[in-house]
Amino acid sequence: MYGKRLRPLSIATIAAMALALALVFFYAPLDAEQGFLQKIFYVHVPLAIAALGGFVLGAVLAIAHLRTRDPRWDMRSYVAIHMSLIFAVGALITGSIWAKGSWGHWWVWNEPTLVSFLIVFLLYATYQPLRFAIEDPERQARYASVFAVTAGAFVPMNFIAVRLSTAYLHPRVLGSTSNLPGPMALTFVVSLLAIVLLYATLCTYELTAKHTRAQVRALRRRVLGETPEQEGRRPRSAAPTTAPGAAIGAEAAGRAL
Amino acid sequence: MRGTVAALLRKELLVELRTLESVPAMSLFAVTTFVVFHFALNRGSVEGDLGAGVLWVTLLFAAILGVNRLFVADAEQGGFDGFMLAPVDATAMLLAKMATLLCYLIALELVAVPAFALLLLGPSLGPSLPGLIGVLALGDLGVAAIGTLVAALAVRTRARDLLGPLLGLPLLVPIVIGGARATSPLLTLAHSAPSARWLVTLGLYDLVFGLIAYALFDFLLED
């Protein structure tokens, strides 16, 4: 059953978010140089970490799909990448705001983390057009997985290449939790946890919704006595469609379409 | 395996020689782009960073033209079906296509680099030619590996002419970084040598994407 973990996950997420926000606003000290502006760090960096982690997770799930040929792995990979894209938009926007506030420009090219993040985002933005451009569902899943693995390997490579190309001026966030004073480090860790939980919850929500929709569609089809072939409309989104048989016999999923 | 690759490569080059579909278009595109750069930048000559940027952007976009055409004949005229019927390893197709693309790129550069030196480059190219050939060779290997993978991904989609460049360009950005940074000292009056850091970066990137293409290509050929 898909939706079982949804309730505890949602509650944990809300609690963690509330705790993180409370720590950000009432506990973490003001930064000496940047003042209040520095608080965006507790949103921006966890968003970026969750998005990048999600991209790599999508690649791992895609490997599972290529090995097993089970369309459910493709669905998970799709959801992981889809949600990461949304988080990446958030990270880019908050990063831009932070850059404007602390350096006076919306975009700073000699900031390798920002630039490599943009390149990764541009690459992943083609994921959905690629899916949408392939009609055969089995081939769509396979090609999307090949893309996901390639892009997942590209993420660290790209970060190394761009970092080499620029002298950095960014606060070195990832390795620098030890440089942060204690209260800030604690706040950051809690914020990161909250955002990762949010990511997991949203992914579970999307998976549950897709699964439920497939189930409903299959049941309706059975009630109306239709065969899958008779329903000839094109899907409106690039999301993978789990086979209608998935609700009844999951292992038949691949062959049913 | 080696025989298969050689046969496929021979077939590709023969087809290209008879149809002249890719390489002339790529070369012409490159030369035209230099003219466009001349007017767009409003400069009679370029050097250093700017020169390296102009050269690499031009080569990259010209390469994309070739990448877009790489599998079209196979998809449209049954080349894939014929290959699938033959009792050979899919990797042979990958290696043959990579070698084909590499040949295209070398042919392109044989036209584009002299044209660049004649039309746009300020300092003379002579003393830094060996270094430039080395950098271009490393870049070409990477473009060939990524280009082949991307071309195979995009060719059987509805919008392949659009998806090819969209997928390929972000993946090629690190090659542009490495290539352009390594080229720019070569194109100055001092003709200094490129820093080894960029050559290593390019080489590692080529290696990683060569391995990725090798690992994933089979999955693109299954039907």
Q: DSSP assignment of A53-120, as one string?
A: HHHHHHHHHHHHHHHH--HHHHHHHHHHHHHHHHHHHHHHHHHHHHHHHHHS-S--TT-HHHHHHHHH
The residues, any chain, with a CB within 8 Å of residue B29's CB and separated by 6 or more, are: B61, B62, B65
Amino acid at A58: G
Report the distance separating Cα A11 and Cα A135, nearest Å: 39
ipTM rounded to 2 decimals: 0.89
pLDDT tens figures, B112-168: 999 999 998 888 888 888 899 999 999 999 999 999 999 999 988 888 888 999 999
| Residue A4 confidence (pLDDT) above 80 | no
The pair of structure tokens assigned to A104 is: 């006076």
Compute the average pLDDT of residues A6-28.
90
Minimal Cα distance from A134: which residue of B? B157
pTM passes above 0.90: no
**A160 neighbourhood in chain B, CB within 8 Å:** 201
Compute φ and ψ for A31, nearest 5 degrees.
Answer: -70, 140
pLDDT tens figures, B99-122: 999 999 999 999 999 999 999 888
* CB-based contact, B212 to chain A, within 8 Å: yes
Report the distance separating Cα B38 and Cα A57, nearest Å: 45
Helices and strands (H and E) in chain A: how many: 8, 0
Q: Which helix (H) or strand (E) holds B115?
A: helix B90-119
pLDDT-derived band of residue B83, with 50, 70 and 90 as boundaries? confident
Report the distance separating Cα A35 and Cα A28, nearest Å: 11
Interface of A with B (CB under 8 A): 66, 119-120, 122-123, 126, 129-130, 133-136, 138-139, 142-143, 145-147, 149-150, 153-154, 157-158, 160-162, 164-165
pLDDT-derived band of residue B212, with 50, 70 and 90 as boundaries? very high
Report the distance separating Cα A142 and Cα B168, nearest Å: 18
As a whole number, the mean pLDDT across chain B is: 91
Sole residue written with tokens 């070398």: B106
What confidence score (pLDDT) does residue A175 get? 46
Burial A160-190 (b: 16+ CB within 10 A, else e): ebbebbbeeebbebeeeeeebeeebeebbeb
Beta bridge partners of B118: none
Distance from CA of B130 to the nearest CA of A (A): 24
Compute the average pLDDT of residues A217-237.
70
pLDDT tens figures, A132-165: 899 888 999 999 999 999 999 999 888 887 777 7
CB–CB of B153 and A143 under 8 A?
Answer: yes
Report the distance separating Cα B48 and Cα B122, nearest Å: 9
Report the distance separating Cα A32 and Cα A128, nearest Å: 43
pLDDT-derived band of residue B172, with 50, 70 and 90 as boundaries? very high
The residues, any chain, with a CB within 8 Å of residue A81's CB and separated by 6 or more, are: A54, A55, A58, A124, A127, A148
